[in-house]
Amino acid sequence: MGQVSLLFNEYDCMGCHACEIACKQEHGLGIGPRVVRVLERAPLFKPLFCHHCEDAPCALSCPEDAITKDPKTGVVLLDGEKCNGCDAVPGKSGAEKQETSSCKVECPAHIDVQGYVNLAVKGKFQEALQLIKLASPFPSICGRVCHHPCESACSRDQIDEPVAIHSIERFLADLDLNADKRYMPGIRDKKEEKVAIIGSGPAGLTCAYYLAQEGYNVTIFEKAPVLGGMLTTGIPSYRLPREIVEAEIQLIRDMGVSMKTGVEVGKDITIPQLRKEGCKAFFIANGAQECIGLGIEGEGLDGVYSGLDYLRQVNLGNPVRLGENIAVIGGGNVALDAARSARRLGSPNASIIYRRSLEEIPSRPEEIAECQEEGISINTLAQPVRFIGKNGRVKAMECIKMQLTEPDESGRRSPEPLPGSEFTIEVDAVITALGQESDWACLTPECVCTLTEWGTMNVDTLTLQSDDPDIFAGGDAVRGSQSVIEAIADGRQAAISIDRYLSGQDLRLGRDRAFKAITEPQKEKYDPAARAQMPRLEPKKRVKNFNEVQKGFTAEVAVQEAKRCISCGTCCVQACSYDVMQFNHEVTKAVKCDLCVDKRGRNEIPACYAICPTRCIFWGDPKKFPIGIYQGL
């Protein structure tokens, strides 16, 4: 028997639900789950069914080995004996198992967190890594620097503390980095089309990673002498060692992506020239690499540095010594990293000046704690008003105290100066870190794409396509300076769009899936268990060098910590791009369509296919299906 598949044409589906009813009757599912579902979603109906995906993430994610893919037929099969419903409780939370765990919902890249954490529990470290890599090529990087919204949303918090998810991710990824043979995803047949990517930060590299898997001929153009964008020139190595970034980039290079450093698009080569050379699509991922100034007196004095320029110098191996007393203005990543780098480069009195309170500071609590442990003070509710110089060099800084207004309608409190509260501090150097913007030199007059009033690229939020149909953009270039995981999410979405654009498919179809997070996870059967703590280099030792501060989990700690996951969703549901696996109050095990594969052997046809009045269901050999009816995610 050859490959078997099922296909719905959602344009022709009239939402009669006849296929659902026929399927339930045929399989004796009664009031239980429906393996085929038709959702009403104007202007179309949305049939949900098992796509028997080539890479079958549900099979990969199942810690019980209950789901397997038959290589002969391509059918994904569920073994009801092995399925334990990931702890689904009859009559209690079974229906909720159909929803998505909040860690996955909150992750901008929607990584199947529960899936990989549960695979880690079973010691299936390779499978766990593969699952992560379906949504992100950078688990070692994210395991170190991601702001982990997954942890902020973790249901375990309702019992004691969130699972240390990103430390588990780091453990899994580092294991692979050090393996004799690293995991590399499969690559489809080579395609002719060339794609150019502008910028080698996490957005550009991610887009390259997923396009390379589709077989495209991808070239990344990078104006800096090194690859990685802010991962290399922004984030210091005591948080993100260079060899980690290089190792994750190397895999993308090994997948056949060409990477050209020292080439600035817009100056050394232009988009129109690249079009002439045969590039059929572009992904602009140029980041937000320019510092925004303060616009106050004395900003041009020697000894006043922009945070990004300072960090770039340090990270490119040209450490700038600033003197003893350093003030850093700002409260984000750049400010903290600049202060901590200066501390390591011989400035014992580095302090941070931030105009709001610690409650509003954008940096993560753990980073603030590490900063304070290193002896860096954070002076809140203060702002510089001018820099005072002597012989052209900054010597002091006049500041003013700030107070926060009452919350406005959005609940936000704004800082305003406290009249008459000016004070002066002596400084040897100042670093300003107040935000970043993009440099749009890559756009030439031939490009019709436009910018927003904030200086970011205007794109369709679902497809990331710009006003130039062949130009897509994402990451900081579109969002303003944000985070690594958002850049990764955009890179993958852009790759999906570019693939669809180049193969003449609908860019939007099936991509507006809204995740609904589980609200009432089962908690009763779990006892409190303390969250594992990340071992760190002692503050006294770490301020002398750029060695990595966080040391990572051992396998034992990672598995122990993974066991704290309360499996608030079900692994196969989390992994499915099409929302297909079914649970409800009566059925605590998964139920899914097996394409009535046994019927095919008997030359019979499935009930859903037989009953459809609009003939919008196709079943059988996928090679015989009409092309372009449904494109999956």
Binding site for ligand FAD (CB under 6 A): 145-147, 198-204, 221-224, 229-231, 234-235, 264-266, 285-287, 289, 308, 311, 333-334, 337, 439, 441-442, 475-477, 481-485, 487
Q: In the bound complex, what is the minimum distance in angstroms from residue 109's beta carbon to ligand FAD?
A: 11
Element (H, E) at 540: helix 539-542
Q: Dihedral angle at the C-alpha atoms of 513, 519, 524, 529, nearest 10 degrees? A: 80
What letter represents residue 323's amino acid? G
Sheet order of strands, 325-329 included: 304-306, 429-432, 325-329, 349-354, 377-380
CA-CA distances (angstroms) from residue 115 to 57, 212, 518, 594? 9, 25, 15, 22
Nearer to ligand FAD by Cβ, of 94 and 204: the residue is 204
Crossing angle (nearest 10°) for helices 125-133 and 113-121 = 170
Strand, helix or coil for residue 562: helix
Pairing state of beta strands 415-417 and 429-432?
A: unpaired
For residues 302 and 394, the answer to whether their CB atoms sit within 8 Å is yes
Nearer to ligand FAD by Cβ, of 137 and 204: the residue is 204
Q: In the bound complex, what is the minimum distance in angstroms from residue 30's beta carbon to ligand FAD?
A: 48
Question: Cα separation of 130 and 500, whole Å?
Answer: 24
Q: In the bound complex, what is the minimum distance in angstroms from residue 265's beta carbon to ligand FAD?
A: 4
Nearer to ligand FAD by Cβ, of 207 and 616: the residue is 207
Local structure of residue 253 (DSSP, 8 states): H
Beta bridge partner(s), residue 454: none
For residues 514 and 500, the answer to whether their CB atoms sit within 8 Å is no
Strand, helix or coil for residue 335: helix
Q: In the bound complex, what is the minimum distance in angstroms from residue 343's beta carbon to ligand FAD?
A: 15
CB contact set of 390 (below 8 Å; sequence gap of 6+): none
Nearer to ligand FAD by Cβ, of 22 and 141: the residue is 141
Q: In the bound complex, what is the minimum distance in angstroms from residue 105's beta carbon to ligand FAD?
A: 18
Question: Cα separation of 546 and 343, whole Å?
Answer: 10
Q: In the bound complex, what is the minimum distance in angstroms from residue 481's beta carbon to ligand FAD?
A: 6
User: In 492-613, where do the E strands start and end?
Assistant: none
Q: In the bound complex, what is the minimum distance in angstroms from residue 556's beta carbon to ligand FAD?
A: 27
Q: In the bound complex, what is the minimum distance in angstroms from residue 153's beta carbon to ligand FAD?
A: 16
Q: In the bound complex, what is the minimum distance in angstroms from residue 519's beta carbon to ligand FAD?
A: 27
Nearer to ligand FAD by Cβ, of 13 and 208: the residue is 208
Q: In the bound complex, what is the minimum distance in angstroms from residue 370's beta carbon to ligand FAD?
A: 11
Question: Cα separation of 69 and 58, whole Å?
Answer: 10
Nearer to ligand FAD by Cβ, of 221 and 501: the residue is 221
Nearer to ligand FAD by Cβ, of 126 and 482: the residue is 482
Nearer to ligand FAD by Cβ, of 202 and 303: the residue is 202
Question: Cα separation of 296 and 300, whole Å?
Answer: 9
Question: Cα separation of 429 and 322, whole Å?
Answer: 6
Could you tell me what percentage of the chain is helix, strand and coil, using 3-state DSSP and rounding each to the nearest 5? 30, 20, 50
CA-CA distances (angstroms) from residue 562 to 125, 226, 287? 12, 36, 34
For residues 633 and 54, the answer to whether their CB atoms sit within 8 Å is no
Nearer to ligand FAD by Cβ, of 454 and 627: the residue is 454
Nearer to ligand FAD by Cβ, of 6 and 543: the residue is 543
Q: In the bound complex, what is the minimum distance in angstroms from residue 106's beta carbon to ligand FAD?
A: 14
Nearer to ligand FAD by Cβ, of 434 and 580: the residue is 434
Give which of 420, 414, 512, 417 is closest to 463, Cα–Cα: 512
